[in-house]
């Protein structure tokens, strides 16, 4: 069986089209499924409010292009562009893009990385999380505020202060392990190792989870979790942390 996944991607993003296919290949090794990936890009260079607004405005075009390919699901892969709009933004964005695709004759479920992260934390039962973002501090504050608007406390945050979205992709995953050690996790029941689908983190998820002993997830692992659920597939990806382990989730809160 082949499943077509449509990705709405910031033009400067080079990570989501690497990590998501890699995880779904691992999933396919377990289930025998095959996935193909089809992208439409919306222009984004700098991660600032004006640039994010322009990119969001272009997402309708992307949804129409991908629905022409009759993809089985759409992924809107820019977390901060949604979260800066405040509580409920991912629900309205997903609904709108689904309507755009359906009006073009290619109805498909829509998963946003922003909504996926909230949904994955809720699935794990997390109540208090520490986060790492590549953003400037004001955008990190907006992300933390969005998470907290869903009743999940952000206990600590590391903001790496990178505004150029191309440079975000060059952040070392090995350094991300070091950044995780900077977090105060004493009050946290989970860590979001990368609150950005452009900041690579997949190879760091398992070692940080083993070191800290609490669930570790990222915008990308959350996106794959919610995508597989939207496709009515088992959310199992070996080596991608507890969220995608296939074990029951929901025991993270306390």
| Residues contributing to the annotated binding site for substrate | 13, 78-80, 135, 165, 197-198
Of the candidates 12, 131, 17, the residue with the CA atom closest to the CA atom of residue 83: 131
Q: How far apart are the first and last CA of the chain?
A: 40
Angstrom distance (rounded) from CA 140 to CA 158: 8
Q: Please give the distance of CA 251 from its chain centroid, rounded to a whole number.
A: 21
What positions carry a catalytic annotation?
A: 78, 196
Report DSSP state, residue 156: E
The structure tokens listed for 110 are 């829509």
Q: What are the phi and psi torsion angles at 73 (to 5°)?
A: -160, 150
DSSP string, 49-70: HHHHHHHHHTHHHHHHHHHHTT
List, in sequence order, every residue forming a beta bridge with 107; answer none if it has no partner: none
C-alpha distances out from residue 146 to 86, 98, 154, Å: 6, 22, 10
The structure tokens listed for 153 are 């406390």
Helix/strand/coil for 216: strand
The sign of the dihedral angle between the CA atoms of 103, 105, 109, 114 is: negative
**Binding-site annotation: residue ranges:** 13, 78-80, 135, 165, 197-198
């Amino acid at each position: 069986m082949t499943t077509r996944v449509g990705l709405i991607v910031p033009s400067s993003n080079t990570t989501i089209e690497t990590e998501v296919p890699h995880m779904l290949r691992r999933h396919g090794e377990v289930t025998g499924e095959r996935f193909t990936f089809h992208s439409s890009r919306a222009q984004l260079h700098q991660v600032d409010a004006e640039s994010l607004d322009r990119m969001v405005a272009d997402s309708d075009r992307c949804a129409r292009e991908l629905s022409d390919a009759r993809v089985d699901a759409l992924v809107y892969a820019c977390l901060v562009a949604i979260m800066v709009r405040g509580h409920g933004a991912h629900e309205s964005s997903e609904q709108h893009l689904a309507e755009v695709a359906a009006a073009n004759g290619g109805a498909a479920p829509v998963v946003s990385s922003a909504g996926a992260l909230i949904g994955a934390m809720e699935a794990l039962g997390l109540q208090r999380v520490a986060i790492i973002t590549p953003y400037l501090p004001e955008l990190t504050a907006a992300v933390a505020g969005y998470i907290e608007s869903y009743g999940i406390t952000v206990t600590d945050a590391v903001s790496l202060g990178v505004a150029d979205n191309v440079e975000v992709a060059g952040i070392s995953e090995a350094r991300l392990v070091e950044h995780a050690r900077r977090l105060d996790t004493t009050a946290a029941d989970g860590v979001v190792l990368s609150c950005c689908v452009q900041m690579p983190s997949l190879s760091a998820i398992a070692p940080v989870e083993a070191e800290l002993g609490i669930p570790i997830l990222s915008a990308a692992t959350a996106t794959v979790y919610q995508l597989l659920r939207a496709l009515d597939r088992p959310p199992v990806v070996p080596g991608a942390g507890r969220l995608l382990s296939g074990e029951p989730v929901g025991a993270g809160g306390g």
